[in-house]
């Protein structure tokens, strides 16, 4: 029942977004407008409120999740990056894709549906790690483009402070650390905006999906397999090694099994490399995640039933 209750609404909204865009119900630029609203307003509001409402003690106690997720991400990135028979830029983009779960646009609604607001701390941590992947990928691409000089520190910092997700997370942690409280009217405002996040983010994903025949099916299967199968297994392994709680095990499994985030495609566009391939990976991993999420939710129902929100 959990699988049906979660997957039908989640992928139903994705399908609605796809159909609405293809039928031009909301206009030609609706995908960009909606994605911008979610990225710059809805997601930051949700991440900020969740971070600010989380006691600082929970941040401190969650180091096993942070460590395990970071190590798993690094391993996946290195495995794909060190694979032979690809040029350097292609390897970087592929590594970013394999190590970049969609923890924001898809992760938030799925986590809220399964675990409730309690699971947002793990979303915050995994989203910060996703930002690290983007920074590392851009540094490597810039180093390849400019030579040994590489990327200047100010450019790296610019990537971070221009990212609304990072800024909202850091602000939320600051409010938690200092025990600051928002005025009720402002808190309610952010709450109203946050209530739109799950629905609109999934519709936005659907609007971005463009189904075409992939250029290299074997490479696509390889990267999708690393993202949807290998990463959850490695994450689970290190969560076990670090004696993580059942809740961390369950949320770690779900978040690491999210499909590829669109960030790798955006970076590919910026550097004009692997653009078509990275788009295919985002789309195919989103479709295949229906299967992998079904399996993972079956595992959670069987082995971690106490973590599921009532």
Q: Is residue 308 part of a domain?
A: no
Q: For the chain, what is the domain count?
A: 1
pLDDT in tens, 166-208: 999 999 999 999 999 999 999 999 999 999 999 999 999 998 8
| Cα–Cα distance measured from residue 198 to residue 33, given in angstroms and rounded to the nearest whole number | 16
Q: Is residue 67 part of a domain?
A: yes
Q: Is residue 267 part of a domain?
A: yes
pLDDT in tens, 54-86: 999 999 999 999 999 999 999 999 999 998 767
Q: Is residue 310 part of a domain?
A: no
Question: Residue 159: what pLDDT?
Answer: 67
Share of the chain above pLDDT 70, in %: 93
User: 124, 207, 137: which is closest to 168 by C-alpha?
Assistant: 124
Question: Residue 151: what pLDDT?
Answer: 55
Q: Which residues of 60-95 are buried (b: 16+ CB within 10 A; e: fewer)?
A: eebebbbebbbbbbbbbbebbbebeebeebbbbbbb
| Cα–Cα distance measured from residue 131 to residue 35, given in angstroms and rounded to the nearest whole number | 18
C-beta of residue 271 within 8 angstroms of C-beta of residue 134: no
Higher per-residue pLDDT: 153 or 307 = 307
| Cα–Cα distance measured from residue 189 to residue 281, given in angstroms and rounded to the nearest whole number | 36
Q: For residue 80, what are the domain limits?
A: 2-303
Q: Please, which pLDDT band fits residue 277 given cuts at 50, 70 and 90?
A: confident
Q: Is residue 41 part of a domain?
A: yes
Residue 51 has pLDDT above 90, yes or no: yes
What CA dihedral angle connects 300, 301, 304 and 306, to 10 degrees? 140
Question: Residue 144: what pLDDT?
Answer: 63
Higher per-residue pLDDT: 96 or 28 = 96
The predicted model scores a pTM of: 0.90
State the CATH number of the domain containing residue 48: 1.20.1530.20
Tokens of residue 283, six digits: 């789309």
Q: Is residue 31 part of a domain?
A: yes
Q: Is residue 128 part of a domain?
A: yes
Across the chain, mean pLDDT equals 90
Share of the chain above pLDDT 90, in %: 66
Q: Which residues make Cβ contacts (< 8 Å) with residue 243, sequence separation at least 6?
A: 64
Q: Is residue 196 part of a domain?
A: yes
Residue 147 has pLDDT above 70, yes or no: no
């Amino acid at each position: 029942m959990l699988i049906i209750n979660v997957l039908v609404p989640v992928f139903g909204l994705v399908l609605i977004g796809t159909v609405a865009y293809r039928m031009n119900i909301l206009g030609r630029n609706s995908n960009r407008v909606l994605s911008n609203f979610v990225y710059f307003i809805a997601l930051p509001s949700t991440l900020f409120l969740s971070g600010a409402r989380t006691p600082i003690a929970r941040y401190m106690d969650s180091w096993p999740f942070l460590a395990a997720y970071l190590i798993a991400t690094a391993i996946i990135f290195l495995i794909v990056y060190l694979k032979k028979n690809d040029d350097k830029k292609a390897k970087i983009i592929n590594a970013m894709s394999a190590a970049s779960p969609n923890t924001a646009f898809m992760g938030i609604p799925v986590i809220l549906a399964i675990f409730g607001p309690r699971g947002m701390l793990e979303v915050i941590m995994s989203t910060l790690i996703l930002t690290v992947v983007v920074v590392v990928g851009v540094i490597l691409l810039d180093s390849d483009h400019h030579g040994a000089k590489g990327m200047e520190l100010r450019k790296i910092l610019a990537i971070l402070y221009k990212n609304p997700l990072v800024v909202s997370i850091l602000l939320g942690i600051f409010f938690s650390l200092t025990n600051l409280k928002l005025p009720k009217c402002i808190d309610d405002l952010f709450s109203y905006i946050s209530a739109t996040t799950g629905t609109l983010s999934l519709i936005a994903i659907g609007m971005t999906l463009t189904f075409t025949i992939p250029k290299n099916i074997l490479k696509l299967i390889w990267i999708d397999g690393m993202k949807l199968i290998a990463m959850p297994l490695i994450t689970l392994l290190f969560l076990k090694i670090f004696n993580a709680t059942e809740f961390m095990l369950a949320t770690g499994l779900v978040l690491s099994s999210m499909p590829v985030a669109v960030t790798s495609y955006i970076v590919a566009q910026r550097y004009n490399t692997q653009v078509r391939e990275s788009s295919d990976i985002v789309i195919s991993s989103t479709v295949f995640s229906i299967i992998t999420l079904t399996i993972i939710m079956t595992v959670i129902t069987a082995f971690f039933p106490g973590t599921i929100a009532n």
